Structure 1
């Protein structure tokens, strides 16, 4: 079975970043869905504004007519921000269609080589038959962009696993499902934190992790720059020690960063590492199934 490559975005306050993200996946996508709250609210109920120029850009860019705007009510007052996120992801996935590859990407995520990621997905097309009986989730690796500086961008020096695709979108936490994880050697730039201070504060108040952010994170983020970053450690916004060190891209151009990533050996994930990770997770998953 050869299902479609269906891509979904949750569109909110950082919608302008889609102008960086959509071009990285457009040619390989069968369809692209943009989920937008019809009342223009975040998962916390804060108001957002999406300029008409954005929709004009979509119309001009979408020369193959792949993009669908999906508007609905995604903020529910009696749900937490994470519960609202999971609900929206499930609603979007149903629009995208079970029986296809459901790939959800955030506005601030940019694939370095999406064609390669799709090629990896196609190895598992058999899982699109009766997907509820054998749910899987396909992972790539983030290169986390931490902060813009005068002459470039600071980033977390080791790639981090992130889940992007599934055959059965029964989401439990963000994009995670209850199913086997399969790691692939693909890199995605994640502009999660490389914002202005005001943008970062707004994000931390309104995203799915708004109650979990480490209280000391922002003071360190404000203090770090391209000249002193080696003097600091432990940068993660939830559990600081998970991001021990930063490194530096001497450019702010995303295309140039893509070129650097493809040349930087330390950002490549070795096949031997992938093999061990995939084998280990398969064993762990099978043991869980036995114990259920």
Structure 2
């Protein structure tokens, strides 16, 4: 019997975005676990509120009774924000169950084709047996939404690798484990930065990377728009040069953007690139086993 497809969300101040993300995965999962701090604390000790209408929306949406609400105390004052994040991810993974595919998705991440991602995962079901001896992590690619403008959304012009699933959730940094990475040709829209200035400032104070944000990032984010974005470069919030250029979607509709991505070959990752990435990872960990 193969393991279950378990999806977990860490829900906090951006809980409203789950209404866009959850429908992209719901049909193809066995269970969805939603982790919420019972005291409504962020990882930095800030506070947030969740309107009761949100839980009512979940009750109405969850027609197949797949959703499990998991509330616990996820904030520890003596830990850094990243340490709190890792702790919460591990606690959530324990609820999701050993021997299953552990997929953690953030509220601001929207799969373009989650059914395909699951199909790609199933090719590696043999790794669900004795996962501690053969830990792997499964990657997809973000299309990073950068900023809403008057007529659309700016986005980073190349897909970016992101880790979503693992057979052994011994997280070391965010969703990363110490194990072989397997690349899949799947795209996920990431609305990490495309927020109001107020929401973005709050996020930067309370998320796992709060001490790492580049000091000049917000100044550039505030001034760039659909008319001048080609005049700027280096947009990453941690190491600016990793995101060299932006591009523009002339719509704010997420469904329409997903259609554009499906039809726009430039935003796809080539099979050749994925092959060489996976070969490199396989070789790297083969050599590690031989020298261990």
**Shorter-chain TM-score: which interval?**
over 0.9
Shift of residue 283, structure 1, vs aligned partner: 1.5
Aligned counterpart, 2:224: 224
Aligned counterpart, 1:24: 24
**Secondary structure, counterpart of 2:199 in structure 1:** helix
Aligned counterpart, 2:105: 105
**Secondary structure, counterpart of 1:105 in structure 2:** strand
Aligned counterpart, 2:55: 55
The equivalences for 1:91-170 within 5 A come to 91-170=91-170
After TM superposition, the score normalised by the length of structure 1 is 0.99
Shift of residue 291, structure 1, vs aligned partner: 4.0
Whole-Å Cα distance in 2 between the matches of residues 202 and 286 of structure 1?
43
Whole-Å Cα distance in 2 between the matches of residues 142 and 286 of structure 1?
28
Whole-Å Cα distance in 1 between the matches of residues 291 and 213 of structure 2?
34
Whole-Å Cα distance in 2 between the matches of residues 291 and 231 of structure 1?
49
Aligned counterpart, 2:173: 173
Shift of residue 256, structure 1, vs aligned partner: 0.1
Aligned counterpart, 2:2: 2
Whole-Å Cα distance in 2 between the matches of residues 276 and 10 of structure 1?
33
**Secondary structure, counterpart of 2:6 in structure 1:** strand
Gaps of 5+ in 2: none
- How large is the Cα RMSD of the aligned pairs? 0.7
Whole-Å Cα distance in 1 between the matches of residues 170 and 291 of structure 2?
21
Aligned counterpart, 1:274: 274
Whole-Å Cα distance in 2 between the matches of residues 62 and 78 of structure 1?
37
Aligned counterpart, 1:189: 189
Partner deviation per Cα, 1:214-267 (whole Å, 9 max, x = no partner): 000000000100000000000000000000000000000000000000111111
Whole-Å Cα distance in 2 between the matches of residues 143 and 135 of structure 1?
26
Aligned counterpart, 2:71: 71
* Aligned residue-pair number: 292
Whole-Å Cα distance in 2 between the matches of residues 284 and 239 of structure 1?
26
Partner deviation per Cα, 1:113-150 (whole Å, 9 max, x = no partner): 00000000000001001111100000000000000000
Partner deviation per Cα, 1:16-50 (whole Å, 9 max, x = no partner): 00000000000001000000000000001101100
Gaps of 5+ in 1: none
Shift of residue 273, structure 1, vs aligned partner: 0.7
**Is residue 257 of structure 1 aligned with residue 264 of structure 2?**
no
The equivalences for 1:37-52 within 5 A come to 37-52=37-52
Aligned counterpart, 1:208: 208
Shift of residue 289, structure 1, vs aligned partner: 3.5
**Is residue 237 of structure 1 aligned with residue 237 of structure 2?**
yes
Partner deviation per Cα, 1:71-101 (whole Å, 9 max, x = no partner): 0000000000000000000000000001000
